[in-house]
Chains A and B, each alone.
Chain A
Amino acid sequence: MSCCGTAPDFEEMNEVSRLVSGKLAAFLRTLRDNGFAVGLAEGQDAASLMASGYAAKPGLLRSAFKHLFSARRSDWQKFDGLFDAFWLGKRVRSRSLAAGSTKAANNPSLKTIQDGAQPGGSQSASDQVPSSEDAPSSRGGEGRMEGASRAENLAEVDFRKLADPEQIAQAHEAAAQLARIMRTRLTRRDLARRRGYRLDLRRTIHRNISHGGVPISLVKRQRKDKPLRLIVLLDASGSMSMYTSVFLRFIHGVLDEFREAEAFLFHTRLAHVSGAMKEKDAARALDRLSLLAQGAGGGTKIGESLQTFNRWHAARVIHSRSVVMIVSDGYETGDADLLGREMAALAKRCRRIVWLNPMMAWEGYAPEARGIKAALPHIDLYAPANTLKSLTALEPYLARL
């Protein structure tokens, strides 16, 4: 952490400046702990700023550092508090999430949800492949099941019936792998479809100089395909608790493998979790999420969560080739009409809405819940997702978009 000791302005290192640079290094560490992306270059710049008189007034130094170290709005907003706490010794409300994430392993909220496997229920879970038109035909031929087949015996077991930890780990692994396969298939498809539609004059002329400038061999230009973007909204409420952990793992895989994906978690409010999910290590990612998922079990306000999404996130994360995937049982405890309105607004924005409802495969389930009734008219694909197999069956649907 001696990143600032090498700054050019520190050639005549006296005792004072050594103290200051030590303190600065500690400050950088605090910032990193709080999720700031601070590199060596920033440390050096900071040191040179302090040396050139910015340290004379705390307000000035704060403002200068704020510009230097912040990289996004969330940084910008929490910086003043961190700065004051560190340099001026003021109390700050609380350390941010990232700082405490490693300790969260024994947090009971999400990780231990898996134990809740319940006996009883139906035997019919196995025969539920999505009811949509494309699922059956696409199984053969293309050999794309290589990932899931390793866990063949698990493929048709309802997630909530997974009890022994090893099976759960296997299911998690399979879910992550599934995400990986979906990704490669979707990209390959993109490439195969490319064909030029417009002349590339620059390359054409260059290539044809040897013909005296007569354009004989033409160089075409191709439109760049936008990669499919997947936006997952996961219901983390109590009624979904048996399924959340597997889906979280799936989402983790998706975020890791898709170039473009965003994830949100909701129960009574909405949380943007892409950042936490991008943690490479799945277990740590889940730990970080368990903090965000506080409030699990206190009812579901799907409508309000969607409203928040539409208002604050939709413009940023949705583009013309986006699929919104909502994983929820549709038990709305808030206003069902609001849910209908927000679903309509969302449908206008994105290419497809896929609603995955794990309960759908239960015997005798009918979409009676008020929430799901209000939402159904706006959904493009309504499918069960209670087994790995049913999750796999989604992929051909996504590939056609």
Chain B
Amino acid sequence: MKDREHIAQALAASGYIADSELATAIALMQRLRRPLLLEGEAGVGKTEVAKALASVHATELIRLQCYEGLDQSSALYEWNYQRQLLAIEAHRGHADTIEDQIFSEKYLLERPLLAAIRRDKPPVLLIDEIDRADDEFEAFLLELLSDFQVSIPELGTIRAVSIPHVVLTSNGTRELSDALRRRCLYHYVDYPDVEREARIIMARINGASASLSLQIARMVEGIRKEELRKVPGVAETLDWAAALVGLDVRDLHDAPETVHETLMCLLKTQEDKVRISREVSERILGKVA
């Protein structure tokens, strides 16, 4: 209980405006030692959660960006082949001693997963967009996340020095396996409500007044309700807010022209741009108090 309030405060102090449930999720993560799986639309701030978590724990953030074809050698470890070849050349003729030498720590390149379990202070391990990796990698990850040990054939088994705080994010481009889902705590990150979004804008954009932030948040909410192909996320809102502040807009109603022209920060496809015509943007602006 204490830890939960403590975490909520620490998150706020680090500049991440969390909803109340997220603080619970992070407290549970610590207590139950389970990874946290974050799902949600692109641009709702899933990755930011990991960054905030790292600053709450005042620890390092190690990030593994997943992509199709990601394999162990770029996720876990790799041997430094150039150096190995050099060493082999340099010690030509001592074939029996060379093998021990070139498969030692000195020639080992740490990749994110190995790095994460070898730190003295538990880092935050962010496994970003896990849905982009292949099934096989997911299965491998599952094993790593339950045992926290890695075996390197040439070196032997490496056990975790500390258990990292693991955060996984997914955009839902692929269905994840049930096993992985069950292993993790689940949190669905939704678009923030108006009030929270306004607070996020205020926290992130220098020079955004409370009233302007609220107006921007309301306007964005109105736009999200339109039938759009790509609904703007929090990142887009922040871009837009920065643009408006940069153009010295104090009140949206004073500059409907600028508002419409800067909507390009929010609308990322031609179709959406056509849909939010001048009339539509004025209508939405009209509803913003």
Binding site for B on A (CB under 8 A): 37-39, 42, 45, 48-49, 52-54, 56, 60, 63-64, 66-68, 70-73, 75-77, 201-202, 205-206, 209-210, 212-213, 224, 315-316, 319
Q: In the complex, what distance in Å separates the CA atom of A316 from the CA atom of B25? A: 26
* Of listed B20, B79, B175, B184, residue having the most chain A CB within 10 A: B175
Partner of A64, one of B28, B95, B181: B28
Q: Are B92 and A315 in contact (CB under 8 A)?
A: no
Could you list 22 A-B pairs, sorted by A, with CB under 8 Å? A37-B181, A42-B182, A48-B32, A56-B1, A64-B24, A68-B28, A70-B186, A70-B188, A71-B181, A72-B39, A72-B186, A75-B186, A77-B188, A201-B81, A202-B81, A209-B95, A209-B99, A212-B88, A212-B95, A213-B89, A213-B98, A315-B173
Q: Which of B12-33 contact A (CB under 8 A)?
A: 20-21, 24-25, 28, 31-32
| Nearest CB in chain B to that of A57: its residue | B1
Q: Which of B194-224 contact A (CB under 8 A)?
A: none
Q: In the complex, what distance in Å separates the CA atom of A42 from the CA atom of B178? A: 14
Q: In the complex, what distance in Å separates the CA atom of A82 from the CA atom of B183? A: 21
Given contacts A67-B28, A202-B78, contact A73 B39 (CB under 8 A): yes
Q: Are A202 and B24 in contact (CB under 8 A)?
A: no
Q: In the complex, what distance in Å separates the CA atom of A75 from the CA atom of B175? A: 14
Q: In the complex, what distance in Å separates the CA atom of A210 from the CA atom of B95? A: 7
Q: Are B24 and A213 in contact (CB under 8 A)?
A: no
CB distance from A388 to the nearest CB of B (A): 30
Which 10 A-B residue pairings sit nearest by Cβ, starting from the closest? A213-B88, A71-B181, A70-B186, A63-B24, A76-B188, A67-B185, A67-B25, A201-B81, A53-B1, A63-B21
Q: Are B174 and A316 in contact (CB under 8 A)?
A: yes
Given contacts A67-B25, A67-B28, A202-B73, contact A213 B85 (CB under 8 A): yes
- Tell me which residues across on chain B come within 8 A of A77, comparing CB atoms: 188
B121 located at the interface, meaning its Cβ lies under 8 Å from any Cβ of chain A in the complex: no
| Nearest CB in chain A to that of B92: its residue | A212
Given contacts A73-B188, A212-B92, contact A202 B79 (CB under 8 A): yes
B286 located at the interface, meaning its Cβ lies under 8 Å from any Cβ of chain A in the complex: no
| Nearest CB in chain A to that of B131: its residue | A316
Provide the B79-110 mask, 1 if CB < 8 A to any CB of A, else 0: 10100110011001101001100000000000
- Tell me which residues across on chain B come within 8 A of A39, comparing CB atoms: 182
Provide the B24-54 mask, 1 if CB < 8 A to any CB of A, else 0: 1100100110101001000000000000000
Interface residues on B, range: 35 or more
B239 located at the interface, meaning its Cβ lies under 8 Å from any Cβ of chain A in the complex: no
Q: In the complex, what distance in Å separates the CA atom of A64 from the CA atom of B78? A: 39
- Tell me which residues across on chain A come within 8 A of B253, comparing CB atoms: none
Q: In the complex, what distance in Å separates the CA atom of A73 from the CA atom of B185? A: 12
B246 located at the interface, meaning its Cβ lies under 8 Å from any Cβ of chain A in the complex: no
Q: In the complex, what distance in Å separates the CA atom of A51 from the CA atom of B218? A: 42
CB distance from B89 to the nearest CB of A (A): 7
CB distance from B174 to the nearest CB of A (A): 7
Q: In the complex, what distance in Å separates the CA atom of A292 from the CA atom of B178? A: 22
Q: Are B98 and A209 in contact (CB under 8 A)?
A: yes
CB distance from B66 to the nearest CB of A (A): 15
| Nearest CB in chain A to that of B24: its residue | A63
Q: In the complex, what distance in Å separates the CA atom of A45 from the CA atom of B134? A: 29
- Tell me which residues across on chain A come within 8 A of B1, comparing CB atoms: 53-54, 56, 60
Q: Are A68 and B32 in contact (CB under 8 A)?
A: yes
Q: In the complex, what distance in Å separates the CA atom of A71 from the CA atom of B182? A: 6
- Tell me which residues across on chain A come within 8 A of B24, comparing CB atoms: 60, 63-64, 67
Q: In the complex, what distance in Å separates the CA atom of A205 from the CA atom of B99? A: 11
Q: Are A49 and B88 in contact (CB under 8 A)?
A: no
| Nearest CB in chain A to that of B95: its residue | A212
CB distance from A350 to the nearest CB of B (A): 14
